[in-house]
């Protein structure tokens, strides 16, 4: 489909040009001048027609996309999606599949914890908790009751280089995604704040930013992670308030940021008064490198959870707030949901205190390491990036493949994985690569068969595949 000839008159809209162009898009779609399914001009083409910068058009397209009026697909273009703005989020975080459905498809899109005896351990821990239920379970939970759990989280993090931690620095949340959203609610201000993320990043960052009515800008990556020169350029151009970064296990590229690079990022954050959200939900088994929280304790909000190491069903996460900002984090949580529900908080405290959480984590990491070896053995001859302890790998595709095409053909072979497109921002760059997560629940034979099918696909780019 060729794009439409659309030439709005921006002189009708006073104020910043990108806001005027966004209003023009809304009116044209509402009045029917632009209809659902119609392809819009490229950013550069429309910028040339209107005599504005490509950045102006890109910001307007992003805002209209966030409102659900437009839809953008990497490699295809931008299209009119709806005649009216949508309320709330415009896309699900993930596509749900029935875990009981045995259709022969192996889902490698998101890590799935192996069964290492959690069910029996949790059942026994819940019985112990049930024996201590008292009248206080009738009332609203309070954060005063979470004091012992914050002490337990501090011990849980003792194997990380995080700098001095006081229990008062910790805020408890309903999982890692909840933690990211709470930090943004705590830190962002103004009508249209700007949040920086890595150009390929966990989609939950941008979803949380959009719920906070923030604009998301991607920062270029290299093999070591976030590029300091690109970060400084974005700071000068956009005046951001928050930077989202993953230092230990960049999602999806599996890169680990060297200590010197971390120090460079911190120096820039201090120069431009950036708050840092450091996501360590995909934690590696061991780390001796200082986290951003250790290098910049005055501005780093360290986020973690139990979802990738103990149980995703618990929905338990935490924020290690900047030094002296723990009350701000806890008050934000209090305004959002008062405090954790007693069943979750009491069960997690029992699992921490008994040592069962640590034992489950150890078993899970051992099982993931075993499955990771299966993937590396089968695909190691290709351009594969991985880390010991991580439940996913990053596969750069050989010449002849596009990430979206490979994902579709892998699905036809019964293997679901994530294309790099899913981690890119609207109008962002997307390499020819895919992410494979470890299906810890699947039998080794199923994983080996899936890896073998992927290996055969890689050896036969589309131009060589039979029609």
Cβ-in-10-Å burial (0-12, 13-18, 19+) of 217 comes to buried
286 vs 293: CA distance, rounded Å: 17
Q: How is 173-233 classified by DSSP, letter by letter?
A: ESSHHHHHHHHHHHH--SSS-EEEEESB--HHHHHHHHHTT-EEEEE-EETTEE-HHHHHH
Domains contained in the chain, CATH given: 10-80 (1.10.10.10), 106-117+358-464 (3.90.1150.10), 133-354 (3.40.640.10)
Vertex 265 angle, CA 304 and 111, to 5°? 30
Query: 3-state SS of the chain: helix, strand, coil percent to 5?
Result: 45, 15, 40
The closest of 241, 237, 219, 206 to 54, measured between CA atoms, is 237
pLDDT tens digit sequence for 193-242: 999 999 999 999 999 998 998 999 999 999 999 999 999 999 999 999 99
Of the candidates 348, 297, 322, 316, the residue with the CA atom closest to the CA atom of residue 170: 322
Question: What letter does residue 86 receive in the DSSP assignment?
Answer: P
Element (H, E) at 106: strand 106-107
Tens digit of pLDDT for each residue in 46-91?
A: 999 999 998 889 888 888 887 888 888 766 788 898 877 766 665 5
Long-range Cβ contacts of 327-336 (<8 Å, 24+ apart): 327/168, 328/186, 329/170, 329/171, 329/182, 329/183, 329/186, 329/301, 330/143, 330/171, 332/171, 332/182, 332/185, 332/186, 333/143, 333/171, 333/172, 333/173, 333/182, 334/143, 336/182, 336/185
The CA distance from 440 to 419, in Å, is 20
The full length of the chain comes to 467
Burial of 408 (0-12, 13-18, 19+ CB in 10 A): exposed
Q: Determine which of 263-277, 304-318, 341-355, 424-438 has the lowest per-residue pLDDT on average.
A: 424-438
- Tokens coding 364: 């899970």
Query: How does DSSP classify residue 354?
Result: H
End-to-end CA distance of the chain: 25
What are the backbone dihedrals phi and psi of residue 284, each rounded to the nearest 5 degrees, phi first?
-85, 165
Gap between the Cα atoms of 294 and 62, Å rounded: 35
Closest of 209, 208, 177 to residue 192, by C-alpha: 209
Q: What are phi and psi of 17, to 5 degrees?
A: -65, -35
Residue 127 clears pLDDT 50, i.e. is over it = yes
How confident is the model at residue 400, as a pLDDT?
87
Q: Which residue has the tokens 């995080």?
A: 162
Question: Is 394's pLDDT higher than 50?
Answer: yes
Q: Are strands 215-219 and 418-419 parallel, antiparallel or unpaired?
A: unpaired
Please tell me the predicted confidence (pLDDT) of residue 17. 86
pLDDT above 80 (res 98): no
- Tokens at 315, concatenated: 């929905």
Question: Are the CB atoms for 65 and 78 separated by under 8 Å?
Answer: yes
Question: CA–CA separation, 243 vs 277, rounded Å?
Answer: 6
Whether residue 209 contacts residue 195, with contact meaning beta carbons closer than 8 Å, is answered with yes
User: In the predicted model, what is the mean pLDDT of residues 348-352?
Assistant: 98
Q: Is the pLDDT of residue 162 over 90?
A: yes
CB 298: neighbour CB atoms within 10 A? 10
Higher pLDDT, 258 or 72: 258
Identify the three-state secondary structure at position 58: helix
The pLDDT assigned to 287 comes to: 82
Distance (Å, rounded) from C-alpha 59 to C-alpha 426? 10
Question: CA 47 to CA 425: how far, in whole Å?
Answer: 20
pLDDT for res 90 = 56
pLDDT at residue 464 is higher than 80 = no
- Give the mean pLDDT of 117-125: 95
Dig out the tokens for 111 from the structure: 């890590």
Sequence-ordered alpha helix ranges (H) in 212-341 = 228-238, 259-271, 292-295, 326-337
Segment 288-325, tens digit of pLDDT: 899 999 999 999 999 999 999 999 999 999 999 999 99
**What mean pLDDT value characterizes the chain?**
91
Question: Under 8 Å CB-to-CB from 127, ≥6 apart: which residues?
Answer: none
Averaged pLDDT for residues 366-371: 93
Among the residues of 380-402, which ranges form H helices?
none
Distance from C-alpha of 227 to C-alpha of 232, rounded to nearest angstrom = 9
Q: Give the model's confidence band at 465: pLDDT under 50 very low, under 70 low, under 90 confident, else very high.
A: very low
457 token code pair: 């696909």
Q: Which ranges constitute the DSSP H helices of 310-436? A: 326-337, 342-354, 356-379, 403-412
The pTM of the full predicted model, rounded to 2 decimals, is 0.83
Residue 93 reports pLDDT greater than 70: no
């Amino acid at each position: 489909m060729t794009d439409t000839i659309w030439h709005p008159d921006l002189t009708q809209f006073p104020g910043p040009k990108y806001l005027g162009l966004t209003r023009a898009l809304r009116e044209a779609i509402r009045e029917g001048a632009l209809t659902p399914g119609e392809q819009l001009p490229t950013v550069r083409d429309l910028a040339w027609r209107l005599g504005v910068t490509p950045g102006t058009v890109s910001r307007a397209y992003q805002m209209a996309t966030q409102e659900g009026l437009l839809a953008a697909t990497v490699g295809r273009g931008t299209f009119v999606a709806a005649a009216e703005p949508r309320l709330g989020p415009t896309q699900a975080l993930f596509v749900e599949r029935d875990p009981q459905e045995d259709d022969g498809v192996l889902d490698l899109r998101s890590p799935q914890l192996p069964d290492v005896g959690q069910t029996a351990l949790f059942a026994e821990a819940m019985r112990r908790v049930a024996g201590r239920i008292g009248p206080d379970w009738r009332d609203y939970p309070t954060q005063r009751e979470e004091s012992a759990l914050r002490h337990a989280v501090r011990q849980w993090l003792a194997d990380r280089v995080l700098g001095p931690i006081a229990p008062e620095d910790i805020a408890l949340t309903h999982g890692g995604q909840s933690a990211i959203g709470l930090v943004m609610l705590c830190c962002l201000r103004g009508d249209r704040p700007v949040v920086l993320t890595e150009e390929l990043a966990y989609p939950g960052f941008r979803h949380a930013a959009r719920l906070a009515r923030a604009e998301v800008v991607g920062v270029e990556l290299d093999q070591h992670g976030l590029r300091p020169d690109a970060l400084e350029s974005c700071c000068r151009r956009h005046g951001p308030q928050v930077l989202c970064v993953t230092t230990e296990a960049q999602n999806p590229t599996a890169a680990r940021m060297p200590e010197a690079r971390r120090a460079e990022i911190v120096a820039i954050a201090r120069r431009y008064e950036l708050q840092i959200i450091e996501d360590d939900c995909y934690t590696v088994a061991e780390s001796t490198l200082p986290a951003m929280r250790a290098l910049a304790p005055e501005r780093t909000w360290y986020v973690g959870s139990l979802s990738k190491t103990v149980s995703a069903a618990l929905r338990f996460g935490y924020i290690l707030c900047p030094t002296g900002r723990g009350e701000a984090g806890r008050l934000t949580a209090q305004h959002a949901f008062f405090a954790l529900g007693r069943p979750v908080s009491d069960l997690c405290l029992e699992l921490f205190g008994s040592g069962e959480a640590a034992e489950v984590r150890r078993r899970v990491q051992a099982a993931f390491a075993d499955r990771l070896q299966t993937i590396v053995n089968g695909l190691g001859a290709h351009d594969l990036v991985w880390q010991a302890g991580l439940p996913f790998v990053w596969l750069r595709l050989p010449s002849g493949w596009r990430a979206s095409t490979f994902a579709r053909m892998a699905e036809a072979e019964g293997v679901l994985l994530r294309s790099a497109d899913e981690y890119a921002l609207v109008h962002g760059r997307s390499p020819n690569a895919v992410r494979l997560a470890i299906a810890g629940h699947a039998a080794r034979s199923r994983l080996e068969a899936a890896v073998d099918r992927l290996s055969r696909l890689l050896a036969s780019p589309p131009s060589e595949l039979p029609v």
